[in-house]
Amino acid sequence: MPPLLYSFRRCPYAMRARMVLAAAEIELRLREIVLRDKPAHMLELSSKGTVPVLQLESGKVLDESRAVMDWALAQADPHGWLAHKDDALIDMFDGDFKHHLDRYKYATRYEGVDALEHRAACHEMLQDIEPRLANGWLAGAAAGFTDIALLPFVRQFRIADADWFDNEMALPHVQAWVMRFLDWPVFTRIMGKYELWLDSDKEHPFPPLS
């Protein structure tokens, strides 16, 4: 039986895992969930209660998105993404950028938070990568591992105020990078809507057809 993936369509961690799994053409069973109603089996596999959760045929469980990405590309890396992997930059965005993003996008969840201060902190980090995007992607003319790891979170940053991002942010390479991502077949392929898995049904074959 193929490996089993628990996922949530809009989760950026699950997005980046699904992109790599699909690109590597790893045959899976996908269970689409909502995080407010976490399946008991998923929690048995990983008590963290976050997605993605991938159970391999051996029974081994991977419950960190980057571990899923590394595993998938170890099976097949048809686009050479692993050659363009900047762990330090990914760590920075997974840490500092995500910290500020949450307090910008979900300011009402945090006491005493100024959303615009956190937007400015995210903007400063994006300023730092603006020159690296002159050729389209962080890796140059083609996408690499780092692009896939970062873009789901920068997409969320745009969603928080798309008008400001598109018209006032004044980082043309970052803006073009995100818009290119939104239309990128690697991304659009994994963003189809699936019926929810509820305890015993609605498993879906994955990856979807190209």
Each residue of 41-90: pLDDT tens digit?
A: 999 999 999 999 999 999 999 999 999 999 999 999 999 999 999 999 99
- Same domain for 131 and 56: no
Closest CA to 91 of 59, 56, 64: 64
Residues 12 and 88 in one domain: no
pLDDT at 198: 82
**Model pLDDT, residue 175:** 98
Residue bearing tokens 């762990």: 87
**What pLDDT shows up at residue 199?**
67
Task: List the 4-7 sheet strands across, edge first.
Answer: 61-62, 53-55, 4-7, 28-32, 204-206
Whether 28 has a pLDDT exceeding 90, the answer reads: yes
Residues 18 and 85 in one domain: no
Same domain, 99 and 29: no
Residues 18 and 106 grouped into a single domain: no
List the structure tokens of 1. Answer: 């039986």
Phi, psi for residue 102 in degrees, rounded to 5: -60, -40
* Segments forming the whole domain that contains residue 149: 81-187
Question: What is the count of structural domains for the chain?
Answer: 2
The whole-number pLDDT of residue 210 equals 66
Q: Which of 66-70, 126-130, 164-168, 204-208 shows the lowest mean pLDDT across its residues? A: 204-208
Specify the amino acid at residue 27: E
Predicted local confidence at residue 201, as pLDDT: 77
pLDDT at residue 200 is higher than 80? no
Stated pTM of the model: 0.96
Residues 6+ apart with CB under 8 A from 87: none
Q: Measured between alpha carbons, how far is 3 from 8 in angstroms, rounded to an integer?
A: 17
Distance CA 10, CA 152 (A): 9
Domain holding 175: CATH number?
1.20.1050.10
Q: Are residues 91 and 153 in the same domain?
A: yes
What CA–CA distance (Å, rounded) separates 165 from 34?
Answer: 28
Count of other CB atoms within 10 angstroms of residue 14: 25
11 and 26 in a single domain? The answer is: yes
